[in-house]
Structure 1
């Protein structure tokens, strides 16, 4: 058997960042920038008003008070979107709206609340200071300034900035396209009532959803028969359509494990027994001229999801130009002790609780069998028990990884330098061993 770190580091050493492509901003959400993005304009592009009010010379109203107000003639209105260039005459004012351009010669805006809201003449009860309520050109962003660095993931806020500074597209790492292939003669489609010996394909929807939670493009093919010819045909068909293939089932030691039988003949996929529970049977390699990564996961649902979180998710993030692990595990204290298999890394499904300033606490989420979906649905996170620990005691501290891309708790004590309490974190070791595959 090999360790979790060894299998993961081999995966991360093999997969690289997908080739960059230019995408419109409407199609770039979730993608990572492949180059620095510079502003083509200044923001704001012109001096504009931050308030609804009156734009004027501050010196004309510097002595205005409630008792001794200043009255000025109003030369007209300036609305947001008005492109007319105007010049302010000393001793006069314009009524101005938020976002509207400031006329030449003006240096302050008095809010409408500090006036009588006059239309032809305005009475001002409190004079503004020089520059008051004016947003100067370039205050936010200067033309030519780098506004988003390569490696930035584009979400709503970043896309807004890119659009505002003059870009309609960007060079990005595309979102990986992954297909989940469920194999097994016993599988029937979700929504069907299984008969004797039949099993609903829950792994396919689960793994496709897990991939989408990562922000990648996922599809699935269910109910592929345990026949080498059928499995080979399905895999060949997908090679030109996707960037990664995930199979579930057919990788153990059984006589009908067609995935293993087909891929073993190619010599590019390696099958291992990984010292972990659940999820011991694992396979990984590349297929076709494009060397498409293929991950073969066990068929038991818990084993399948844990394997995805531990091995597939970090690889898909790397392919997308992101860090394999985007957040460190957190430290949590065990509420009730439990046994762990000797010489294996256990990924225990746990419920996480938090009380005020106390550390996070975890307890097992029901049965820990690799087929038990009920407790998997209730779990918040995976508690990582190192292979040298056979008995976890109440009060022990473990590293905890959130499920579904979530943080295990609000009050978290993040592990530092990949370790806590002298226990290494498998992810830190694997990433260090793999280096920065690109």
Structure 2
């Protein structure tokens, strides 16, 4: 199949992308952004005891019912209890326990008095205000009860969830493993950043661009490699990569030039071609194949084309593989703060910055091979086929990065 719409391309890719079913047990401290593979059920009440939310004195509310500045109530301080400590003593009439925030409330007490409402007495304390029954008192299980399902299977673990898991006493947590994504860049003209730049060469920006964006989407590439512009070399690399990949991404060599080797390499490897060319600019020559059950998405070599297709096609694939709705495409509407003077014959994506409902265009070129003008941009304006130039003040819609 050749020349499909963005929507058709997305559907064809997602039909061949599998959600990861394999799970692993990892440390909670490493679980940020991961997806739970099981319900998380609490095994105990939290807190596991009644506790004080203040620094002060635990006592019986009936004993201090008439307390005032003029007529303070005197209570005998029989013990001190700090957070992390515990006492078996039962407080009786006329007694109080010096207590700190987070400490267990002793038996017999039904309130805690703020130390600011006392004279801070150590052996005998004078209390200047009454406190109602269960005032300044946190009950056992106030946070969660034993047997409660606090997080459902398929939930994304954020910083709050990490805190709750720790409060449940979990040192490890079952999660779905991350997708194994392989990045293969092509081009005899590209040089690894840090190496000398020889005449006729350019640095390989696509490798870092893809690695960085996948990492932002929660996937660290399992293999990143440059492959020379020989179809045999790429076919061999595809055979190797397919043994340990859920998705293979390639950049470059997808058009019709003499060095555009991906078509021949995929044929040599025995891959099934699903489509070639997507009705969008940049990224039109995108090629999608399946090799030994592994999806292979081949992007153009132009950096902005790579950046655009990652958002349109790779991101939905990552969302499905990870089971992570946080990476879904988000669209926003706004008003053009600047004018984009070119009408759109076909679908076109334009780099921009969206703020307070306004789309601002960056300074510099909008060419497919230009990446620097994308610095600071946070969206791609989505121009539809037949749209006229986008004038200042015109409405527009964009995909947030």
- The match for 1:316 is 318
5+ residue gaps, structure 1 = 404-438
Question: Which among 6, 12, 17 is matched to residue 8 of structure 2?
Answer: 6
Q: CA deviation at 1:253?
A: 1.1
Among 381, 398, 401, which residue is 2:399 paired with?
401
Q: Take 1:312 and 1:287, find their aligned partners in 2: how far apart are those partners?
A: 17
Q: Which residue of 2 aligns with 1:430?
A: none
For residues 41 and 160 of structure 1, what CA distance do their matches in structure 2 show? 16
Instruction: Name the SS for the 1:391 alignment partner.
Output: coil
- Residue 5 of structure 1 deviates from its aligned partner by 0.7
CA contact (8 A) 2:315 2:329 kept: no
Q: Would you say the 8 A contact 2:76–2:96 is kept in 1?
A: yes
Q: Secondary structure at the match of 1:217?
A: coil
Q: Distance in 2 between matches of 1:48 and 1:70?
A: 23
Residues 330, 400 of structure 2: 8 Å contact kept = no
Selected match of 2:18 from 13, 16, 35? 16
Contact kept, 8 Å, 1:205 with 1:220, in 2: the verdict is no
Give the 3-state SS of the residue equivalent to 1:229 in structure 2. Answer: helix
- Which deviates more from structure 2 when the two are superposed, residues 318-327 or residues 170-179? 318-327
Alignment of 1:42-191 (within 5 A): 42-191=45-194
CA deviation digits over 1:199-258, x for unaligned, max 9? 110000111000001111225534310112221222222233333221111111112222
Task: State the aligned residue count.
Answer: 396
Q: Displacement, 1:46?
A: 0.8
Gaps of at least 5 residues in structure 2 are none
1:180-217 Cα offsets, whole Å, 9 max, x none, are: 21111111111234222211100001110000011112
Partner of 1:264 in structure 2? 267
- Superposed CA deviations along residues 131-181 of structure 1, whole A, max 9, x for unmatched, are 111110111211111111222111221011122123333332222232221
Contact 1:179 1:208 in 2 (8 A): no
1:217 and 2:220 are equivalent in the alignment? yes
Whole-angstrom distance in 2 between the partners of 1:219 and 1:170? 22
Deviations 1:299-322 (A, max 9, x none): 011101111111111111210012
Q: After the TM superposition, which residues 21-40 of structure 1 pair with which residues of structure 2 at under 5 Å, given as runs?
A: 21-24=23-26, 25-40=28-43
Give the drift of 1:325: 5.3
Mapped to 1, the partners of 2:326 and 2:171 lie a distance apart of 29
Distance 1:378 1:82 in 2: 53
Do structure 1's residue 274 and structure 2's residue 278 form an aligned pair?
A: yes
Residue 233 of structure 2: SS of its match in structure 1? helix
State how 1:239-254 maps to structure 2 within 5 Å: 239-254=242-257
| CA deviation map 1:90-129 (0-9, x unaligned) | 2100001111111111100001111111111111111211
Greater shift in the superposed pair: 49-58 or 141-150? 141-150
Cα distance in 1 for residues equivalent to 2:274 and 2:363: 33
Distance 1:348 1:300 in 2: 15
Greater CA deviation, 212-221 or 197-206? 212-221
Contact residue 4 and residue 345 of structure 1 kept, 8 A: no
Counterpart among 360, 363, 366 of residue 364 in structure 2: 366
Q: Partners of 1:379 and 1:104 in 2: how far apart?
A: 61
Match of 1:384 in 2: 382
- Deviation of 1:77 (Å): 0.7
TM-score (norm 1): 0.86
Work out whether 1:286 is the aligned partner of 2:290. Answer: yes
Change (3 A) 1:300 1:394: same
